[in-house]
Amino acid sequence: MASRPVADDELLIERVFAAPPDLVFDMWADQKHFMAWIGPVGFHCTEASLDFQVGGAWGATIVSAQHGTSRMGGRYLEIEAGRKIVMSFRWLNGEPDPETVITLTFTPVDGGTLQSFHQTPFDNVPRRDSHINGWNEAFDREQAHAETQAQELAR
């Protein structure tokens, strides 16, 4: 659930976990914990290596019966114990995939920890850029246009 406006070209997922910040932080920092959850339902993590220090590399392999094997990895760019992790992320499946930067923060709140997950394909994105209002409006216009055309054709 996003709680602030965000451009459509970046991804923000905020979620409260019923656990203290240190433990939620460890979900990313501790190899055993990381392996236990990384990947959607139906996937399991077969291997992960986390050199959890700034500049250190990380990588993981997830497997699903339906979708086969996927490998991902990157580097840690910034670490504040228990509070913040900035890491690069890229799929390593043969097909070229843009490198993204993930910024995670962990904030104590009523009922547990607010994990803020932010991912962007831009390595030099200005944090908030008031210019863009996303392209969904353009898609809306395109759809409206297509529907008008379809109606006209149907006449």
Partner 1 sequence: MMLQLDPLSATFAALADPTRRAILARLSEGEATVGELAEPFDISLPAISRHLKVLQAAGLISQGREAQRRPCRLELRTLRAADDWMGRYRRFWQGAFDGMDQYLAEIQKEDRDGE
Please tell me the distance from the alpha carbon of residue 29 to that of residue 85, in angstroms, as a whole number.
Answer: 9
Binding mask 35-54 for partner 1 (x = CB under 8 A): -xxxxxx-------------
CB closer to partner 1 out of 54 and 138: 138
Region at 77 (left for phi over 0; alpha for psi -120 to 50; beta for the rest)? alpha
User: Which residues are CB-neighbours of 134 under 8 A, at least 6 positions away?
Assistant: 7, 8, 9
**Residue from 25, 27, 105, 106 in contact with partner 1 (CB under 8 A):** 27
54 secondary structure, DSSP code: T
Residues 64-103 that bind partner 1 (CB under 8 A): 95-98, 100
Report the interface residues with partner 1, using CB under 8 A: 7-11, 13, 15, 17-19, 23-24, 27, 33, 36-41, 95-98, 100, 115, 117, 119, 121-126, 129, 131-133, 135-139, 141-142
